[in-house]
């Protein structure tokens, strides 16, 4: 039988790990940290303090999550942070509608159509999770709406994103 693990204060440590995430992604970053902690629990061998081990897991999960979410490569992000390059500009849908004549926008519309087709291929909770993400709902909001735990919603969302990536790469 393994010894009891003291995890008091771990919630605060997860919140602290996610502090570097933008407010719109903070809840998702915390969820990624908790998922990594659960996955890492079986690898904990007791050689270091549990709080230290799981804090490192949470920090790593948040950094991995933010790297996945960042549209820039690490090199591009370093240039933006150093001031050598400018950050990309997010364009709203009204601006997109006004500039539909450009070729780049036409390519984006084709990509958007392909994404819609890929989303339509999803079924059940995966489709619901992606639809809510596209409506910019948080995991907590979807969890409350469908009556599943936050970790279950995060699982379906992550699995759906993986399926979308595989489908779009195959095209």
- Segment 62-119, tens digit of pLDDT: 999 988 888 788 888 888 888 888 877 655 555 545 554 455 656 666 777 887 888 8
Sequence-distant contacts of 61-64: CB under 8 A, at least 24 apart: 61/17, 61/29, 61/32, 61/33, 61/35, 61/36, 61/37, 62/17, 62/18, 62/20, 62/21, 62/29, 62/30, 62/32, 62/33, 64/32
Assess contact for 130 and 116: CB atoms under 8 A.
no
Q: Around Cβ 154, how many Cβ atoms within 10 Å?
A: 22
pLDDT score, position 108 = 67
For residue 61, pLDDT over 90 is answered with yes
Name the packing angle between helices 150-170 and 103-121 (round to 10°). Answer: 120
Least confident among 30-34, 89-93, 154-158: 89-93
Q: How confident is the model at residue 17 (pLDDT cuts 50, 70, 90)?
A: confident
For residue 40, pLDDT over 90 is answered with no
Domain boundaries, the chain: 10-82, 93-170
pLDDT score, position 59 = 92
Query: SS3 for 6?
Result: coil
CATH class of the domain comprising 93-170: mainly alpha
For residue 1, pLDDT over 70 is answered with no
pLDDT tens digit string along 105-155?
Answer: 566 667 778 878 888 888 888 888 888 887 888 888 888 888 989 899 889
Q: Which residue has the higher pLDDT, 39 or 112?
A: 39
- Residue 138 CA to residue 117 CA, distance in Å, equals 23
- For the entire predicted model, the pTM comes to 0.47
- Residue 154 CA to residue 39 CA, distance in Å, equals 14
User: First CA to last CA across the chain, in angstroms?
Assistant: 50
């Amino acid at each position: 039988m393994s010894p009891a693990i003291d995890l008091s204060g771990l919630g605060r440590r997860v919140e602290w790990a996610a502090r570097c995430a933008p407010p719109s992604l903070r809840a998702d970053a915390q969820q990624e940290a908790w998922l990594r902690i659960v996955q890492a629990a079986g690898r904990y061998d007791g050689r270091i303090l549990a709080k230290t081990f799981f804090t490192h897991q949470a920090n790593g999960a948040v950094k991995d999550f933010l790297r996945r979410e960042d549209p820039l490569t690490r090199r591009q992000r370093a240039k933006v942070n150093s001031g050598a390059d400018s950050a990309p500009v997010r364009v709203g849908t009204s601006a997109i509608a006004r500039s539909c004549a450009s070729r780049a926008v036409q390519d984006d519309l084709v990509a958007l159509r392909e994404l819609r087709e890929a989303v339509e291929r999803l079924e059940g909770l995966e489709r619901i999770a992606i639809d809510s993400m596209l409506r910019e709902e948080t995991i907590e909001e979807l969890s409350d709406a469908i009556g599943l735990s936050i970790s279950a919603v995060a699982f379906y969302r992550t699995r759906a994103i993986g399926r979308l990536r595989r489908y779009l790469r195959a095209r």
